Chain A
Amino acid sequence: MGGRSTRRDFLKRAALAACAPLPFRPALAQGSAGRVVVIGGGFAGATCARALKRLDPRLAVTLVEQSARFTACPFSNEVIAGLRDLRDQEFSYDELEASGIALVLLAATGVDPQARGVTLADGTRLSYDRLVVAPGIDIRWDGLPGYGEAAAEKMPHAWKAGAQTTLLGRQLEAMEDGGLVVISAPANPYRCPPGPYERASLIAHYLKAKKPRSKLILLDAKDAFSKQKLFQNAWTELYPGLIEWVSLSSGGKVTAVDPTALTLATDFQTYKPAIANVIPPQKAGHIAELAGVADRSGWCPINPVTFESALQANIHVIGDAAIAGAMPKSAFAANAEAKVCAAALVALLAGSTPAMPKLINACYSLVAPDYGISVAAVYQPANGQLVEVAGAGGVSPLDAPAATRAAEARIADGWFRTITAEAFG
């Protein structure tokens, strides 16, 4: 595809940049508004690159991303449950390239915050005035005893959409009626707080229709979760006796897994299911560590106005990798953060002061294909953090009629089309 010519263009551009003198503030006076490199082409990175180019077409924006196609996580639980094709989750970067963003299909292997340079897998270097780090999550392969990369081939996490999503879907399809499915959910923070519960719901929807003698146990490292009452009421209503949630205080925390025996151990019991979906502990994508923007928690502290790293100047972190205070690690939040960060970058590169932002998050979960529930909130910077605006936000009403649940499911579907159109075109 366009990969090679893109790289050639990029190398040409890099060569030109190398020939130019390197003043403290390169090229600003010559009509170019500056160079921004974005690492990571997910909801955060792709949205940010496009917003930058839209806000100031003179900016030289480069997107560094390993994969030629992005596979979206939201709605991938529908793929697992056989309700949707994985191809509907895939997006190309063609529109980004068409808008003048330089696409580099390589891994970033290093960042030098002092010299303001990114090193790529082929050894080339890319200079920036401002860098945006948007790598999403990595699995903590040392976070759960027994759960390494090989284990994920037997006990899929399916927490990065793609081959893992397909694997879990196939396992479910192949399972005999009467089988036990176990999902293990991690402690906070992790990508998509309501995701494990939406997944349990949609797998239950599949089992109820296709394998009604089966059962699902959700082992949780928490005592409370997002939209909990809404989920639990819906489970009682739609899937009575099918889903069992085991909280942390009831012994739900999985302490080790054995991929060969296909068992999950808690302090009290060992489970041997037909399917084990292990959603493991997570951290910011590896490049965040290499750039020195992740702290000991594995995530990246930021300035809530500009999303600039609290640890490294001129590097901004958005999306799941960031510690965005009260904002969850959701695609909606990543997209909102990306646009605020882009506006802040344009202001900073022009030498002006970024405005105080407000941000919104709205997250939909499907309990069934025609049963949607949501959580929403508004955020603003306060005391160095993003905090919820008091008096706003909340979840769908507990007593809403079926028509409201159906409307929220339709809105969720529309939201996915809208946000992917904004991020990828």
Chain B
Amino acid sequence: MLRHAIVGLAVLLSLAGPASAAAAEFPPGASSCSGCHPTSAAVQTPVARLVGRSAAEIVTALQAFRAGQIPATVMDRIAKGFSEAEIAAIAAWYAAQQD
């Protein structure tokens, strides 16, 4: 399952292209994240920034949230709404964003 996700991720990364061309094409769900996860580093919040993280880091966290393997407040409830392919796409999109 994990290998499937990584392959999917690699494909998506290769398709991502320059950030400007890909910008309008949020993968499903990705544009909602910035309601809590700040885009700007200047915002004071206990919630982690996603911009600047690797795709693998985001995939690992989302899968662990989805499986209930790490402590969570809302992310366990949210991650369950996304498939492995969707998680991989969101992670790849975030990894392609410029900090």
Residues of A participating in the B interface, judged by any CB pair closer than 8 Å: 51, 54-56, 332, 335-336, 339-340, 343, 346-347, 355-360, 362, 374, 376-378, 380, 389, 391-394, 396, 404, 407-408, 410-411, 413-415, 417-419, 421-422
Q: Which residues of chain B come closer than 8 Å to A55, judged between CB atoms?
A: 23-24
Q: Is the CB of A346 within 8 A of B86?
A: no
Contact of A421 among B25, B40, B46, B74 (CB under 8 A): B40
B69 on interface, CB distance cutoff 8 Å:
no
* 29 sampled A-B residue pairs with Cβ under 8 A: A55-B23, A336-B32, A340-B26, A343-B26, A343-B31, A346-B24, A356-B28, A357-B26, A357-B29, A358-B81, A359-B29, A360-B33, A360-B81, A362-B36, A374-B74, A378-B81, A380-B28, A393-B80, A407-B46, A407-B73, A410-B46, A411-B46, A414-B43, A414-B47, A415-B45, A415-B47, A417-B44, A417-B45, A418-B47
Closest residue of chain A to B47 (Cβ to Cβ) is: A414
How distant is the Cα of A222 from the Cα of B77 in the complex, in angstroms?
Answer: 26
Q: Is the CB of B45 within 8 A of A355?
A: no
Contact of A355 among B28, B46, B47, B79 (CB under 8 A): B28
Contact of B31 among A340, A389, A391, A408 (CB under 8 A): A340
How distant is the Cα of A374 from the Cα of B74 in the complex, in angstroms?
Answer: 7
Top 4 nearest A-B pairs by Cβ distance?
A: A414-B45, A378-B81, A392-B81, A360-B32
Q: Which residues of chain A come closer than 8 Å to B47, judged between CB atoms?
A: 411, 414-415, 418
How distant is the Cα of A394 from the Cα of B39 in the complex, in angstroms?
Answer: 26
Q: Which residues of chain A come closer than 8 Å to B40, judged between CB atoms?
A: 421
Closest residue of chain B to A394 (Cβ to Cβ) is: B77
Q: Is the CB of B78 within 8 A of A393?
A: yes
How distant is the Cα of A421 from the Cα of B79 in the complex, in angstroms?
Answer: 24
B38 on interface, CB distance cutoff 8 Å:
yes
Given the interface contacts A417-B45, A418-B34, does A411 sit within 8 Å of B28 by beta carbon? no
B37 on interface, CB distance cutoff 8 Å:
yes
Q: Is the CB of B23 within 8 A of A392?
A: no
A192: min CB distance to chain B, Å: 15
How distant is the Cα of A422 from the Cα of B39 in the complex, in angstroms?
Answer: 8
Q: Is the CB of B35 within 8 A of A332?
A: yes
Contact of B81 among A355, A391, A415 (CB under 8 A): A391
How distant is the Cα of A284 from the Cα of B45 in the complex, in angstroms?
Answer: 32
Contact of B37 among A54, A377, A408, A418 (CB under 8 A): A418
Q: Which residues of chain B come closer than 8 Å to A347, judged between CB atoms?
A: 24
Q: Which residues of chain B come closer than 8 Å to A54, judged between CB atoms?
A: 23
A48: min CB distance to chain B, Å: 11
How distant is the Cα of A419 from the Cα of B31 in the complex, in angstroms?
Answer: 12
Q: Which of B1-52 contact A (CB under 8 A)?
A: 23-29, 31-40, 42-47
Q: Which residues of chain B come closer than 8 Å to A357, judged between CB atoms?
A: 26, 28-29, 31
How distant is the Cα of A389 from the Cα of B32 in the complex, in angstroms?
Answer: 15
Q: Which residues of chain B come closer than 8 Å to A336, judged between CB atoms?
A: 31-32, 35
Closest residue of chain A to B23 (Cβ to Cβ) is: A55
B52: min CB distance to chain A, Å: 16
How distant is the Cα of A355 from the Cα of B23 in the complex, in angstroms?
Answer: 13
Q: Which residues of chain B come closer than 8 Å to A389, judged between CB atoms?
A: 81
Contact of B82 among A355, A358, A408, A417 (CB under 8 A): A358
The 8 A CB mask of B73-93 against A (1 = contact, 0 = none) is 110011111100010000000
Given the interface contacts A343-B31, A362-B78, does A411 sit within 8 Å of B73 by beta carbon? yes
How distant is the Cα of A16 from the Cα of B5 in the complex, in angstroms?
Answer: 52
How distant is the Cα of A417 from the Cα of B47 in the complex, in angstroms?
Answer: 11
How distant is the Cα of A415 from the Cα of B75 in the complex, in angstroms?
Answer: 14
How distant is the Cα of A392 from the Cα of B33 in the complex, in angstroms?
Answer: 16
B58: min CB distance to chain A, Å: 15
Given the interface contacts A417-B45, A418-B38, does A362 sit within 8 Å of B74 by beta carbon? yes
How distant is the Cα of A356 from the Cα of B28 in the complex, in angstroms?
Answer: 7
Q: Is the CB of A360 within 8 A of B25?
A: no
Assuming A355-B26, A362-B36, what are 19 further A-B pairs, CB within 8 angstroms? A340-B26, A343-B31, A355-B25, A360-B78, A362-B35, A362-B78, A374-B73, A374-B74, A376-B74, A376-B78, A392-B79, A393-B80, A415-B36, A415-B47, A417-B44, A417-B45, A418-B38, A421-B40, A422-B39
Q: Is the CB of A393 within 8 A of B43?
A: no
Q: Is the CB of A339 within 8 A of B73?
A: no
Q: Which residues of chain B come closer than 8 Å to A419, judged between CB atoms?
A: 35-36
Q: Is the CB of A392 within 8 A of B46?
A: no
Q: Is the CB of B73 within 8 A of A378?
A: no
Closest residue of chain B to A390 (Cβ to Cβ) is: B81
A357: min CB distance to chain B, Å: 6
